[in-house]
A and B are shown apart, each in its own frame.
Chain A
Amino acid sequence: MSKQLLTGNESIALGAHLASVGVVAGYPGTPSTEIIESMVQADYPNLYAEWAPNEKVALEVAIGASLSGVRSMACMKHVGVNVAADPLMTVTYMGVKGGLVIITADDPGMHSSQNEQDNRNYARFAKVPMLEPSDSQEACDMVAKAFNISEEYDTPVFLRSTTRISHSKGVVKAGDRSATKVEPGFSPDPQKLVMIPAHARKRHPEVLKRLEKLQKLAEIAHNNPPKLNRVEWRDRSIGVVTGGIAYQYVREALPDASVFKLGLSYPLPIGQIKSFAGQVEQLYVVEELDPFWETEIRAAGLSVIGKDRLPSAGELTPDIVRSAILDGQESSSGQQKAQKGAVQDIPARPPMLCPGCPHRGVFWALSRAGVNVTGDIGCYTLGVMPPLSAIDTTTCMGASIGHALGIKKALGDDAPDTVAVIGDSTFMHSGMTGLADVVYNQGDVTTIILDNRTTAMTGHQGNPSSGYNARLKKAPRTDFVKLARGMGVEDVHRVDPYDLQETARVIKEAEEFPGPSVVIADRPCILLDRDSQRAPFEVTEECTGCGFCLNLGCPALYRTGEEKNAPVAINPVTCTGCGMCAEVCGFSAIGEGDDSQ
């Protein structure tokens, strides 16, 4: 097959197809999203692919498929594994039938995440082997290896990617397609599959035995199939244990160093690493985030340089690796090193809500209402950015509603007016249980569901409330009004967030209602709903340059000059004609553009 230029995610998708995966489930999350997306786009045969409401369900679906003898895969970002950790920690006792691979796509540097947890720790925690590719070709090839290990050792297998693997493109040559030897079919086996205490007690020792076998596999994995690890002998004054993207940085920064490249991140081939250490003058460990390998290598009694020179926070870069090892510099912050020599005194350009984003209407109202706002995870988290500055907390998926209830219960009658803001996809993911708590324990909390009918931040994937599925086919749509009423919320409103006055009025009304309220801010994402875009608005000569409209934080609005009252103009390429700026202008100086053009 010819070579292709593929991202790590596209390579994992291709590798899964080549390994004859039958069921794939996931929840969108950067940097993992394009794995399922590209499998659907490629329209691989004999594949069921779905977006699940959350990662826990996704893994549960994949486990069900695996127990039916079908190769299955669950895809998620690093924090998604936290959500899926409950089934994970027990399926490790149960084992698999068809191969079961869990993709964890970590985000060192937090390009699009709330933390940068190192999910290699989950491999040790769950006693599950973890494979880690260093480029697109390996990402493709390792999927079949992961499925084979899963079936041979009766274990789920992690494949860990990071942003720089998932979102880097590299040249890939696809290998041959392989199939599982497992016969499809579900056969009851309660001793293995029903984890009541009596059964689980017998399974735990099996997990420990399996880990011993995997440790033996690790010891031979550098020169026997599946050839996951690799020793590269060059100059022996420096020997580096590394893996994942850090391997590429080591090769770039230290082209002459000898390298023990780990493709099997866990368990470690400690015997082989000892032998490698004995043949180099100085042993280094170069790994992103936690001292995961370093801790094990030190525990084995080896002397090694690692996190005493390299940062545990932030991404590594070739620059950081080079200065840490060659110059012996201690580096406290990856970010600092990466920015060495960079201009520091120019204005930052943080991400913003898009022109025409319907969330802007809600945050405009909230920023003027003087209430506390507990926020959630999605595009709308950008409501925290100035000038709207309308979010006070963001923790994890679904947390907004529980946080609002906690504030209300903690402070009682003294509690500030508090509103929870959550997107439609996030509400389906893990917001419903928070709302159930508000109703059940009678919290005076207003929940605003920002219903833009899609999972926008990750690139417009469907969810149970959006009306289309992973294959973009029509799907049933959860009705938020009926859902809220069914859960016991009496005060339920629906409003168009483009109508700023009405939005402010409805939020106030809901907020004043004593008891649980729900407001559904109902308008599709402007990027999804191109048909609703109108001709760009125009600023007339009436503009006094007061700049009030700029408080909307719309990137399409800008001042035409540096002087204090320079008139505002609208970028005709990016303006979508939402009209919010015209609504807030006190001088009627912004008008609709000519639609006929």
Chain B
Amino acid sequence: MKQSNAVACRDIVVAGVGGQGVLVATDVMANAFMSSDLDVKKSEVHGMAQRGGSVISHVRAGPEVFSPLILAGSADAVMALEKMEALRYAHMVRRDGLIVYNTQKIPPVSVSLQQDSYPADIRDRLQQYSSRLVPIDALDVAQELGNPRVANTVLLGAISLYTEIDDLLWMDSLLERVPKSTHKVNQQAFERGRQLAADTAGLD
């Protein structure tokens, strides 16, 4: 299987807004790693933090994984389901790591109330953490496919390109975790995301 860079991502931080589906995305990822015969650990947070707040989950794979938490500055990739959340957790990525992020903005209530402003220079600031950025308008792609809820799947497709997991294992893991009625649209979203990442990778 073709890969666009030498070091395959195994330590991945996934961030987003509570309710966006961080837990589903990391379940898919973790199961795909396990099917690839790697040891896997994944940390998640339930309860109050899930109610629309900033959510982070760590996925780690390797021959033997100890900590479910990734050391700051050592994640192979940060995958963010929302643009500002990419910046919030950008310090987790290693120097030459990857930041795959949804360009969709979800303003927190403080921004709508004009007590805070949504940062304008996110892309530039992300570049201070890593030059390997993969911005994807995942909501736009998902809406084109007719279901805004598959935006996460578009990002999973994108990051899949940078893992050692076989595409088929990715797809099995994805379809096992999402409702049957959405299998087709999820499959399309995954493939579109993978293609978009391949296109972007040319710019690296």
A248 neighbours in B (Cβ, 8 Å): 66-68
If A343-B125, A349-B54 touch, whether A30 touches B116 (CB-CB below 8 Å) is no
Which of A112, A343, A458, A562 lies at the interface centre, i.e. has the most chain B CB atoms within 10 A of its CB?
A343
Q: Is the CB of A343 within 8 A of B88?
A: yes
If A252-B67, A346-B87 touch, whether A164 touches B47 (CB-CB below 8 Å) is no
Q: Is the CB of A5 within 8 A of B30?
A: yes
Looking at the assembled complex, report how far the CB atom of B45 sits from the nearest CB atom of chain A, in whole angstroms.
5
Looking at the assembled complex, report how far the CB atom of A424 sits from the nearest CB atom of chain B, in whole angstroms.
18
Chain A residue nearest to B43 (CB atoms) is A168
Looking at the assembled complex, report how far the CB atom of A561 sits from the nearest CB atom of chain B, in whole angstroms.
11
- Chain A: interface size category: 35 or more
Q: Is the CB of B71 within 8 A of A167?
A: no
Q: Is the CB of A170 within 8 A of B41?
A: yes
- Asked if A163 CB lies within 8 Å of chain B CBs, one says yes
Query: How many Cβ-Cβ contacts under 8 Å join chain A to chain B?
Result: 180
- Among B67, B70, B109, the residue within 8 A (CB) of A553 is B109
Q: Is the CB of A340 within 8 A of B72?
A: yes
- Among A33, A341, A553, A554, the residue within 8 A (CB) of B72 is A341
If A3-B34, A169-B30, A248-B67 touch, whether A386 touches B45 (CB-CB below 8 Å) is no
A44 neighbours in B (Cβ, 8 Å): none
A30 neighbours in B (Cβ, 8 Å): 46-48
Residues 43-67 of B, flagged 1 when their CB comes within 8 A of A and 0 if not, give: 1111111111110000000000111
Looking at the assembled complex, report how far the CB atom of A422 sits from the nearest CB atom of chain B, in whole angstroms.
17
Q: Is the CB of A346 within 8 A of B119?
A: yes
Looking at the assembled complex, report how far the CB atom of A28 sits from the nearest CB atom of chain B, in whole angstroms.
10
Residues 167-186 of B, flagged 1 when their CB comes within 8 A of A and 0 if not, give: 00000000000000000000
CA–CA, A568 to B54, complex, Å?
Answer: 23
- Chain B: interface size category: 35 or more
- Considering only residues 341-372 of chain A, those with a C-beta below 8 Å from chain B are 341-343, 345-354
Q: Is the CB of A379 within 8 A of B85?
A: no
Q: Is the CB of B40 within 8 A of A171?
A: yes
Q: Is the CB of A351 within 8 A of B113?
A: no
CA–CA, A56 to B106, complex, Å?
Answer: 42
CA–CA, A139 to B172, complex, Å?
Answer: 28
- Asked if A557 CB lies within 8 Å of chain B CBs, one says yes
Q: Is the CB of A319 within 8 A of B72?
A: yes
If A170-B68, A341-B72 touch, whether A112 touches B112 (CB-CB below 8 Å) is no
A468 neighbours in B (Cβ, 8 Å): none
Q: Is the CB of A5 within 8 A of B34?
A: yes
- Among A164, A349, A351, A559, the residue within 8 A (CB) of B112 is A559
A573 neighbours in B (Cβ, 8 Å): 148-149
- Asked if A181 CB lies within 8 Å of chain B CBs, one says no
- Asked if A382 CB lies within 8 Å of chain B CBs, one says yes
Q: Is the CB of A348 within 8 A of B107?
A: no
Chain B residue nearest to A345 (CB atoms) is B119
Q: Is the CB of A318 within 8 A of B67?
A: yes
Q: Is the CB of A111 within 8 A of B48?
A: yes
Q: Is the CB of A351 within 8 A of B51?
A: yes
Chain A residue nearest to B53 (CB atoms) is A351
Q: Is the CB of B112 within 8 A of A558?
A: yes
CA–CA, A559 to B19, complex, Å?
Answer: 20
B201 neighbours in A (Cβ, 8 Å): none
Looking at the assembled complex, report how far the CB atom of A541 sits from the nearest CB atom of chain B, in whole angstroms.
19
Chain B residue nearest to A169 (CB atoms) is B42
Which of B27, B40, B71 lies at the interface centre, i.e. has the most chain A CB atoms within 10 A of its CB?
B71
- Considering only residues 144-164 of chain A, those with a C-beta below 8 Å from chain B are 163-164
Residues 29-43 of B, flagged 1 when their CB comes within 8 A of A and 0 if not, give: 011001000011111
If A349-B53, A564-B114 touch, whether A382 touches B48 (CB-CB below 8 Å) is yes
- Asked if A459 CB lies within 8 Å of chain B CBs, one says yes
CA–CA, A171 to B89, complex, Å?
Answer: 26
Q: Is the CB of B40 within 8 A of A5?
A: yes
- Asked if B198 CB lies within 8 Å of chain A CBs, one says no
Looking at the assembled complex, report how far the CB atom of A285 sits from the nearest CB atom of chain B, in whole angstroms.
18
If A167-B46, A379-B51, A547-B113 touch, whether A558 touches B91 (CB-CB below 8 Å) is no
- Asked if A387 CB lies within 8 Å of chain B CBs, one says yes
CA–CA, A30 to B43, complex, Å?
Answer: 14
Q: Is the CB of A386 within 8 A of B90?
A: no
Looking at the assembled complex, report how far the CB atom of A322 sits from the nearest CB atom of chain B, in whole angstroms.
7
Chain A residue nearest to B72 (CB atoms) is A319
If A564-B114, A574-B19 touch, whether A343 touches B90 (CB-CB below 8 Å) is yes
- Asked if B117 CB lies within 8 Å of chain A CBs, one says yes
A386 neighbours in B (Cβ, 8 Å): 109-110, 113
Q: Is the CB of B50 within 8 A of A351?
A: yes
- Asked if B156 CB lies within 8 Å of chain A CBs, one says no
Q: Is the CB of B109 within 8 A of A352?
A: yes
Residues 429-465 of A, flagged 1 when their CB comes within 8 A of B and 0 if not, give: 0000000000000000000000000000111000000
CA–CA, A341 to B46, complex, Å?
Answer: 25
- Considering only residues 538-571 of chain A, those with a C-beta below 8 Å from chain B are 547, 550-551, 553-555, 557-559, 562, 564, 568
- Considering only residues 222-252 of chain A, those with a C-beta below 8 Å from chain B are 245, 248-249, 251-252
- Asked if A376 CB lies within 8 Å of chain B CBs, one says no
Looking at the assembled complex, report how far the CB atom of A555 sits from the nearest CB atom of chain B, in whole angstroms.
5
If A5-B34, A318-B69, A348-B108 touch, whether A112 touches B47 (CB-CB below 8 Å) is yes
CA–CA, A555 to B147, complex, Å?
Answer: 20
CA–CA, A553 to B115, complex, Å?
Answer: 13
Chain A residue nearest to B107 (CB atoms) is A558
A7 neighbours in B (Cβ, 8 Å): 44
Ordered nearest first, which 3 A-B pairs have the shortest CB separation?
A: A112-B47, A30-B47, A351-B53
Task: State the B residues within 8 Å of A (CB).
Answer: 17-19, 27, 30-31, 34, 39-54, 65-73, 84-85, 87-91, 106-114, 116-119, 125, 148-149
* Given pairs A30-B48, A342-B88, A558-B111, 5 additional interface contacts (CB within 8 A): A249-B67, A341-B72, A550-B113, A557-B112, A558-B107
A-B contact pairs, 29 of them (CB 8 A): A112-B45, A164-B43, A167-B46, A168-B41, A169-B27, A169-B43, A169-B68, A170-B65, A171-B39, A318-B69, A318-B70, A322-B71, A340-B72, A341-B91, A342-B89, A345-B119, A348-B54, A349-B108, A352-B109, A354-B52, A457-B48, A457-B51, A547-B114, A553-B109, A559-B107, A562-B118, A568-B112, A573-B148, A573-B149
